[in-house]
Amino acid sequence: MKNRQIILTSEQVQRLQELEQLLVKHKSLLGLEEEHIEVGISAKTRAFIQWHKKEKNWGIYLLPSDNDFTPIHELGHIFLAKKSNFVYFARTGINNNKIFEGLLLIVNHLLDCFVDYNLIQFEGLYELYIDDAHLWIGAKKKGKIECKPINIAHSYKTLIGYYLSLKIINEKKNREHLINVKNYLRKAKRLIQRSFPNIRFNFQSLEQKLDDFDKIKNTNDPGVIVNFFYKILYEIAIWKESNIQQQMKLLFPIINKR
């Protein structure tokens, strides 16, 4: 574990070592033994994955506060990139200053849902996903919403993540969890409508588009997945069509589908 220049308690150091051990263990499970991965401490407020072009290796950077699923989720991006033969599902290779923050937030969250779905196909990872995924923090509290939405893009990101999670949860195993997520979604929609009264939301139409996830969740074709991203971005209509096309070309330069 490589340390950035911060002061860590012995408990934080131990926790980071535990996370690194989880990463190494699941690297083999996911068939990523040949991938060179550097593990370090995140300089951001979240965990993240990065491609080091010069060294030709991956970096996965974690926080002591991360749960057990976090390092595995970051590995999942590499797994999906290899499965689809499309490296841009694990890295963009561009200057993020050129990307609209809200658009990147939504696309990353959509991509995360494909990553997590692929991960839970491996033995033991569904249970870890249910126990530890950050997504559940609000829903675990009986659908409680702790704060108002930050902006429109953040609101859509929240709705998309929770709605697609309903397609991952096993209803027979986790019925109460499913109910909590549905309650959270219902309350979130009401809060969003109250917070942005001048905007007309068509949640039903969005959910119909998101339902296509069921049809394509097992695909190995990156074009199919990117096309799904396009449809969702057009549906929420925050940005002009020309801007969406330009931004997506930057994020996924090899594929330009609609």
Q: Express each pLDDT in 178-220 by its tens digit.
A: 888 898 899 889 989 999 999 999 999 999 999 999 999 999 9
pTM strictly above 0.75: yes
Residue 254 has a pLDDT of 74
pLDDT tens across 74-112, in order?
999 999 999 999 999 998 655 566 889 999 999 999 999
- Cα 115 from Cα 118, distance rounded (Å): 5
213 alpha-carbon distance from chain centroid: 14
Residue 257 has a pLDDT of 47
Token couple for 167: 């397609």
Residue 53 has a pLDDT of 85
Q: Both ends of the chain: CA-CA distance in Å?
A: 42
pLDDT tens across 113-166, in order?
999 999 999 999 999 998 876 566 666 665 556 666 789 999 999 899 999 999
Answer yes or no: is pLDDT of 3 > 60.
no
Quote the radius of gyration of the chain (alpha carbons, Å): 18
Token couple for 64: 């002591």
- CA dihedral sign of residues 231, 236, 240, 243: negative
Q: Is 42 in contact with 61 (CB distance < 8 Å)?
A: yes
- Cα 169 from Cα 177, distance rounded (Å): 8
